[in-house]
């Protein structure tokens, strides 16, 4: 019996649902350690410690809200699906044929060639890739993330980056504010000044947040580099060997193709209607190249 390996990959979606539960569990443990056990009780003490506790708890909740908002936007937002029976614009196909020689001289095409997906039996716009887990083509696919049970693509990449950013800031802050309690862990365990359950939760929360902060820093640096050159994780190998990546329009334009032009919304998991209408890259079908900008 023939086994479809790509079909088996769809089983990874089940793992993703456990990841969502794991995220909820980590948030719950951290909330209890930071707010309930460590800093919440200091609100009633008065003086500087009370003010510091208030500031920490407010910052904790603000980052948590932004983190969860971005997270659920990544989970529930369609990264971009190819319209049924999609075909490239015939005028663009003619333009591509007519300019192929000039494009070859420049080292890149004026209009990247559209493809065809044998799995979906449908056309593939430029930068579109088939996801073996989701069993569909995703517009400007970056990767499939088991943590969000979804693909990261053209229409939710901004939300994914904000989720990474706010999770990094939250876990870094949690690590710092739990550090004094972690340092006193062994002395408090010997003196029995705290219950074993609270000590275990503080210890676990500190270790988890430290581990996530360090790992997320690596992801942030990687995706910041990809964002600055307008490259996806899938396109890294394709980009190698090129003099300059054909989608690299300059750092500012590259940033706006993901975050939009409205500065007030850059750090919120939202897009303005104006940006959605005026920036084709946010819709995931059409992407300008260097030749378009420099022409």
Task: Answer yes or no: is 54 within a domain.
Answer: yes
Task: Answer yes or no: is 245 within a domain.
Answer: no
CA distances in angstroms from 195 to 100, 201, 235, listed in the order given: 73, 10, 52
Chain-centroid distance of CA 295 in Å reads: 33
Helix, strand or coil, per DSSP, at residue 220: helix
- Selection from 150, 162, 141, 163 nearest residue 231 by Cα: 141
pLDDT tens digits for range 2-31: 444 445 555 666 777 888 899 999 999 999
Task: Answer yes or no: is 63 within a domain.
Answer: yes
Task: Answer yes or no: is 270 within a domain.
Answer: no
CB 120 within 8 A of CB 101: no
Burial (CB count <10 Å: 0-12, 13-18, 19+), residue 23 = middle
Tally of helices (H runs) and strands (E runs) in the chain: 13, 6
Task: Answer yes or no: is 279 within a domain.
Answer: no
- Selection from 46, 39, 62 nearest residue 198 by Cα: 39
- Number of domains, the chain: 1
CA distance 108 to 111: 9
- State both tokens at 238: 């394709």
pLDDT tens digits for range 216-227: 999 999 999 999
Q: Which residues are known catalytic residues?
A: 145
- State both tokens at 199: 């000590």
CA distance 202 to 174: 10
How many CB atoms lie under 10 A from the CB of residue 215? 12
Q: What pLDDT, on a 0 to 100 scale, did the predictor assign at position 94?
A: 47
Task: Answer yes or no: is 35 within a domain.
Answer: yes
CA distance 105 to 134: 38
Task: Answer yes or no: is 11 within a domain.
Answer: no
Write out the residue range of the structural domain in which residue 62 sits.
25-79+160-222
Q: What pLDDT, on a 0 to 100 scale, did the predictor assign at position 107?
A: 39
Which residues in the chain land under pLDDT 70?
Answer: 1-13, 89-113, 188-194, 293-295
Task: Answer yes or no: is 98 within a domain.
Answer: no
CA distance 11 to 3: 14
């Amino acid at each position: 019996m023939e086994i479809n390996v790509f079909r088996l990959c769809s089983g990874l979606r089940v793992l993703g649902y456990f990841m969502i539960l794991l995220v909820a569990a980590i948030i719950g443990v951290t909330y209890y350690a930071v707010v309930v056990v460590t800093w919440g009780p200091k609100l009633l003490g008065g003086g500087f410690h009370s003010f510091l506790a208030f500031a920490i708890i407010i910052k904790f909740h603000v980052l948590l809200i932004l983190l969860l908002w971005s997270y659920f936007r990544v989970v529930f937002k369609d990264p971009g699906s190819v319209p049924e029976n999609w075909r490239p614009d015939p005028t663009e196909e003619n333009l591509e044929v007519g300019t192929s020689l000039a494009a070859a001289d420049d080292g890149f095409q004026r209009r990247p060639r559209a493809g065809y997906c044998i799995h979906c039996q449908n056309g593939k716009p430029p930068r579109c890739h088939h996801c073996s887990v989701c069993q569909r083509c995703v517009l400007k696919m970056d990767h499939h993330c088991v943590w969000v049970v979804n693909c990261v693509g053209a229409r939710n990449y901004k939300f994914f980056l904000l989720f990474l950013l706010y999770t990094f800031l939250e876990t870094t802050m949690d690590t710092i504010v739990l550090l004094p309690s972690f340092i006193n862990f062994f002395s408090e365990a010997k003196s029995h000044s705290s219950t074993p359950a609270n000590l275990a939760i503080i210890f676990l929360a500190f270790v988890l947040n430290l581990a996530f902060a360090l790992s997320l820093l690596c992801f942030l640096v990687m995706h910041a580099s990809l964002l600055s050159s307008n490259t996806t994780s899938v396109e890294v190998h394709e980009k190698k060997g090129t003099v300059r990546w054909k989608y690299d329009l300059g750092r500012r334009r590259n940033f706006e193709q993901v975050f939009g032009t409205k500065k007030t919304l850059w750090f919120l998991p939202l897009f303005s209607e104006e940006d959605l209408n005026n920036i084709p890259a946010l819709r995931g079908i059409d992407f300008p190249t260097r030749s378009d900008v420099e022409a």
